[in-house]
Amino acid sequence: MQLAYLYSRYPVVSQTFCDMEMLELERRGYDLVIGSVHPPLTSLRHEHFARFRSPVYYAPPAPVLCLWEQKTRAAQRWPESLIERHDRQYGASFKAALRARNASYFAELFTRHGINHFHVHFANRAAHTALFVKQISGIPFSITAHGQDFMSDLGQDNLLREICSAAEFVAVETDFSRDLLRERCPDAAAKIHRVYNGLALAELPAPLQGEREPGPTRILSIGRLVPFKGFEVLLEACAELDRRNFDFRCQIVGDGPLREKLEAMIAHLKLAGRVELCGSLSQADVFSKLRSCDIFALASVVDSEGASDVFPTVIMEAMACARPVVSTRLAGIPESVVEGVTGLLVPAGDWEEFALALDRLVRDPAQRKRLGDAGRTRMENEFDVVKTVEPLHQLLSGCISASSVHRPRPAPPGAEVKQTAYLIDRWPDESLPFLEMELRALRRNGVAHEPFVFCPPVAARLSARTKDLVMEFQYLPDAMVIEAEWQSSMLLVRELEAMRANQKHRPPSDLFLEQARYAVMLRKLFLQHNIGHVHATNSRTLLCALCLKKLLGLGISVAIEEKPVLSEAIILEALDQCVGGRSVDRELLARRGSGFLFDQTLERPSVNDIGPWLTRKARVEWTGARLFWREWSQQLIGWTAAHE
């Protein structure tokens, strides 16, 4: 089944429950398309992120989004009345026009992929955008609301009711949040369902067995450093344990705006030797700490804005590692932690009671083991994602089957025509004056191709004449996303670095690393877009093409510009790995095979030849240029077909 997910920002390291859910749906045969309005704020990725078959599609750069608005208006699908009503009802701060611009892109993306239904996590900006996606495309949606999102983040109950009314169904993660949301949205109460988050227990490391090593009692807490996580309460409780002369160490994993305040509090309470702020860690490191700690503590509270934890995934992760939990009687926490059976619960905000609960477990290793073992059993029986995702699967499959939007399922990979990837460093590029002409010639000559642009365009430099091309380009996401892909692909990175080290003539390291990062990012996109050949539009992107050849085994070609950024020795060595290409340098071409063409578009005209002069100065195609582009197109079609 085809299904899309839409997020406001994805991935977020603290939202592993989203990953577990989507991976389980993929395991069940769903073909996912993952969309995110905004890129992530950090480059940290959990190890399981690489297991997704689908890449993440991000909204294009702002100048291109404006073109999507123009296209949607021209098609008479721009939701003007909805925008005006939202501005009037909810105010300018809810940015209805921006939501609609983002929606115009995702409506097209989902339509192109044959999506009949999409799902949104969090009743926030993405859910607001979903209203506009539905209005523009007619594609129905559903949402999972969590707690903080609808309790405080959205900030408008009337909009919340409109979102829930428009959704096919609303999933919430606890009985607590189901009852709360039904109270706020009574007209949608019948379609609000509790669907617990779950963990992929089969993918997680098993709990440690045997006796623990001697030493201080190890207390662990994990979460974003924000007020409702209650870390100030935890520090006060630790100070009380210290006053009672317990030998313990407390580690807090996570980062956020309260870091400096917590550091000052640790110093004030003289806990520097007891408490450590560890910062954000990978999922593997998080589970290593969970498995080796003695007590997991999360002192959740309600903050001044009314936000709170509802059903913290990290509590379930601690229970999966057979760790006893100390937490608070807040929201849906008692639905995971059974008081006296899998952990101890105290009133939220009461540091003295929290310290007393920790005191009981620090003193009693046998109780710690009993609670921890019971927690693991509860996770296996109730919260394995294979079980928890079943009601969501039933709801989604029902919506997809009943959807009034019926689009043909895209052809499976390998069944569709292979495409040529055109690697474009930036658009427009004054050093490549005929690239527009070239791309139009490919379209005219029936070359299946996909242009990938590395650097976002500048609005002031975009031409009205080329907006149809600009909207068909695939844009690489921002630098944070690219860096994350790089850091999580170290085996591939080492292959590429070894490739450069073994070259006789090496490109500059900064240029190589830039292009190698693009190649690692493009690897998954190429699999999704059925790429059979890679063409580098200049010597700079040739480095990226060489990396892709190494990673995917694709054939590559290149057009060498008049003034290459690489030395002749580097270019000659690179050309040996190309099946063909173009250049205006006849001497260089003389040493290459039949696949290398003399680039007539860059040829300096003679005094008697007005055609090339027009092509060069006015960018008007003459007959000879058309013949040249036809020959070039046939070359590309042949190289791409050879990879079938």
Q: How far is CA 159 from CA 2, 86, 166, 482, 508, in A?
A: 28, 9, 11, 35, 53
Rounded average pLDDT over 203-226: 88
Report the pLDDT value the prediction gives residue 408, as an integer from 0 to 100: 60
Q: Is the pLDDT of residue 9 over 80?
A: yes
- Give yes or no for a contact between 406 and 434, defined as CB atoms under 8 angstroms apart: no
Which CATH number does the domain 2-200+386-402 belong to among 3.40.50.2000, 3.30.450.40, 3.40.47.10, 3.30.70.260? Answer: 3.40.50.2000
DSSP secondary structure letters along 526-541: HHHTTEEEEEESSHHH
Q: Centre a 10 Å sphere on the Cβ of residue 345 and count the other Cβ atoms it contains.
A: 20
Residues in the chain: 644
**Model pLDDT, residue 31:** 93
Q: Do the beta carbons of residue 323 and residue 219 sit within 8 Å?
A: no
Averaged pLDDT score across all residues of the chain:
90
Q: How confident is the model at residue 155 (pLDDT cuts 50, 70, 90)?
A: confident
User: Given a cut of 60, is residue 40 above it in pLDDT?
Assistant: yes
Q: What is the mean pLDDT of residues 618-639?
A: 78
- Host H or E run for residue 558: strand 555-559
Percentage helix, strand, coil, to 5, in the chain?
50, 15, 35
What digits encode the pLDDT tens for the residues 385-426? 999 999 999 999 999 988 877 666 555 444 468 999 999 999
**Across-strand partners of 348?**
none
Q: Are 230 and 300 in contact (CB under 8 A)?
A: yes
DSSP H or E run through 585:
none
Which residue(s) pair with 581 in the sheet?
A: 558, 596
Contact (CB, 8 A) for 149 and 124: yes
CB of 6 within 8 A of CB of 99?
A: no
Please answer whether residues 612 and 622 qualify as being in contact, where contact means their C-beta atoms are separated by less than 8 angstroms.
Answer: yes
301-311 pLDDT, tens digit each: 999 888 888 99
With beta carbons less than 8 A apart as the criterion, state whether 636 and 559 touch.
Answer: no
Lowest mean pLDDT among 256-260, 277-281, 317-321, 460-464: 460-464
Same fold, 2-200+386-402 and 419-641: yes
User: Domain 419-641 belongs to what architecture?
Assistant: 3-Layer(aba) Sandwich (3.40)
d(CA 555, CA 283): 37
Domain parsing of the chain, residue ranges: 2-200+386-402, 206-383, 419-641
Residue 241 has pLDDT above 80, yes or no: yes
Instruction: Quote the Cα angle for 132-134-137, to 5°.
Output: 105
**What CATH number does the domain located at 206-383 have?**
3.40.50.2000
Classify residue 536 as exposed, middle or buried by CB count within 10 Å of its CB (0-12, 13-18, 19+).
buried
Tell whether the model's pLDDT for residue 176 goes beyond 70: yes
pLDDT band with cut points at 50, 70 and 90 for residue 43: confident
* Rounded Cα gap, residues 462 and 467, in angstroms: 7
Indicate the pTM of the whole model. 0.86
Residue 223, CA distances (Å) to 31, 300, 315, 419 in order: 31, 10, 10, 44
Query: What pLDDT was estimated at residue 642?
Result: 83
d(CA 292, CA 323): 9
The DSSP call for residue 335 is G
Which pLDDT value is given to residue 151?
74
- Spatial CA neighbour of 55 closest among 27, 38, 35, 39: 35
As a whole number, mean pLDDT of residues 350-379 equals: 97
| More confidently predicted of 431 and 361 | 361
Confidence category of residue 610, pLDDT binned at 50, 70, 90 = very low
Q: Rounded mean pLDDT of 606-626?
A: 51
Q: Where do we find the tokens 């790995």?
A: 577
Q: Which residue has the higher pLDDT, 398 or 592?
A: 398
Among residues 313, 297, 303, which one has the least CA distance to residue 356?
297
